[in-house]
Amino acid sequence: MGAAKTAISPTRAENYPEWYQQVIKGADLAENSDVRGCMVIKPWGYAIWENMQRVLDQMFKDTGHQNAYFPLFIPMSFLEKEAQHVEGFAKECAVVTHHRLEPDGKGGLRPAGPLEEPLIVRPTSETIIGATYARWVQSYRDLPILINQWANVVRWEMRTRLFLRTAEFLWQEGHTVHATAEEAMEETRKMLHVYADFVENYMAVPVIKGEKTAGERFPGADMTLSIEAMMQDRKALQAGTSHFLGQNFSKAQEIKFQDKDGEVRYAWTTSWGVSTRLVGALIMTHSDDDGLVLPPRLAPAQVVIIPIYRDDAQRAEVLEYCKTLKQELGSQIYSDQKVRVEIDDRDMRGGDKKWYHVKRGVPVRIDIGPKDIAAGGAFVGRRDTNQSQSMQRSDLVGGITGILKEIQDNLFQRALAMQKANTVELQNEAEFRSFFQPDDEQGRSSGGGFAKCWFASESEVQPLLDELKVTIRCIPLESDSGDASSGEGTCFLTGKPTKTRAIFAKSY
């Protein structure tokens, strides 16, 4: 494959949305299933998700949370209890109406055994978990409740895209109950920071932490915090959300407790979640025109060793060298775990094998042939830079942790530079319109990025946003204490004075 040709076609510049699909196909991450909008997550894609789960799960446990599991189904009447919540989810939910099948008399089957009350396949679990918490919480001594659930959820999206938007997806949803608003708010912020920590330090994806405007909040929340990442087409992707639910759900579900002073009070709740969407964010942030690029900390294989030989005699020698090298590399510790090394000894042309691993994003490729062995070395390729070099074996073994760290850091810095280069401050409508030109037919943005703009009123700017297909991503947090952006300016659209500045962007 020549220098001019890329492993993935089309390239990012040619057709970004189609490039994304082809990266997924080339890396064998997932595919569309026979069920509308539902995906099959293939082993390589699922292994990435498993690594994400492992790290996040430990972060949740380190912050005092326990896992539990709640029902897949939600009685329809539960959804009805919180008005905004049902408004947000009623239009896109899978409804179970029957509990068996019977012969239809024409050789096929039909639903039978109608349920007294339809059940909704959970699109999120505030209502069913809230009803459970109402039974668990009697006294202030029962608080806080700090629980997380790993689960599948279903939202009947009309237009789906692998990982980014699917009818069924995998996620975790934290649901907590607190005695005071302050505690619940602290939890909401704490989990946003956990997400930001994970996404930046493990996924190597820089994010903006911020608060959603009223129009973009989670249905039923008093406040929604989110982390927003910039993809390579300069669109925003919401990578995680943490909701302060106030007393909305505790009132809808009757989560009450007797406080220290003997008074019965409604509790304060939060919820927070990230999903398999993160895999989409990972793909779109780092991958290039040769396919997937994985940050080492989440790569299912961090190093692949490819033995190269011409005959059986060479094979034995080369494989032996590879095995001991694998053992030495695999006993090094990177990111608190043994380095994950694989030998690929499949019967396959060398070039095909190389591109196989390039497309799958393995951070480090090591070719070992008789010449490398003679020289006591190895030929080492980095996926992030696509540069290769010969190294002495001892340098490689002693340096592998450093190489992985360098790749991890490089990916983050590269993505951060991209984000910074495409974040601007806009003062007026003309600048705004010029920045957010419509995508062309191939889905390419001719511009765009993150625009920081002062604005006075969400409803006043909404028509323009709808026209340009732009959304308010968030009001960035000024500091980790969670204060919204401070200062003062004039609305980019109306010129009115305002204290609110937000990130505007096209988004996934």
- CA–CA gap between residue 334 and residue 331 (Å, rounded): 10
**Amino acid identity, residue 8?**
I
- HSE (side-chain half, CA atoms, 13 Å) at 422: 26
Q: In what order do the strands lie in the sheet with 168-178?
A: 66-67, 145-154, 168-178, 268-275, 236-244, 223-230, 207-211, 471-476, 501-505, 450-454, 423-425
What's the closest the beta carbon of residue 283 comes to a copy of itself, in angstroms?
Answer: 17
- CA–CA gap between residue 21 and residue 287 (Å, rounded): 12
Residues that bind a copy of itself (CB under 8 A): 31, 33-35, 38-43, 46-47, 49-50, 66-80, 86, 90-102, 108-111, 113, 118-121, 128, 131-132, 147, 151-152, 154, 156, 168, 170
**Amino acid identity, residue 458?**
E
| Closer residue to a copy of itself (CB): 96 or 464 | 96
| Closer residue to a copy of itself (CB): 46 or 504 | 46
| Closer residue to a copy of itself (CB): 336 or 441 | 336
| Closer residue to a copy of itself (CB): 131 or 477 | 131
CA 285 to each of CA 152, 299, 416, 445: distance values in angstroms, whole numbers, following the listed order: 25, 15, 10, 16
What's the closest the beta carbon of residue 101 comes to a copy of itself, in angstroms?
Answer: 4
What's the closest the beta carbon of residue 169 comes to a copy of itself, in angstroms?
Answer: 10
| Closer residue to a copy of itself (CB): 31 or 216 | 31
What's the closest the beta carbon of residue 299 comes to a copy of itself, in angstroms?
Answer: 15
User: What is residue 77's three-state secondary structure?
Assistant: helix
Cross-strand partners of 275: 171
310-320 in b/e form (b: 16+ CB < 10 A) is: eeeeeeeebbe
Using N-to-C axis directions, what is the helix angle for 16-27 and 350-360, rounded to 10°? 120
What's the closest the beta carbon of residue 120 comes to a copy of itself, in angstroms?
Answer: 7
Q: DSSP secondary-structure letter at 263?
A: -
| Closer residue to a copy of itself (CB): 2 or 108 | 108
Chain-centroid distance of CA 19 in Å reads 19
Q: Can you say whether the dihedral through the CA atoms of 180, 199, 45, 418 is positive or negative?
A: positive
What's the closest the beta carbon of residue 262 comes to a copy of itself, in angstroms?
Answer: 18
| Closer residue to a copy of itself (CB): 108 or 351 | 108
What's the closest the beta carbon of residue 259 comes to a copy of itself, in angstroms?
Answer: 17
| Closer residue to a copy of itself (CB): 77 or 386 | 77
What's the closest the beta carbon of residue 110 comes to a copy of itself, in angstroms?
Answer: 8
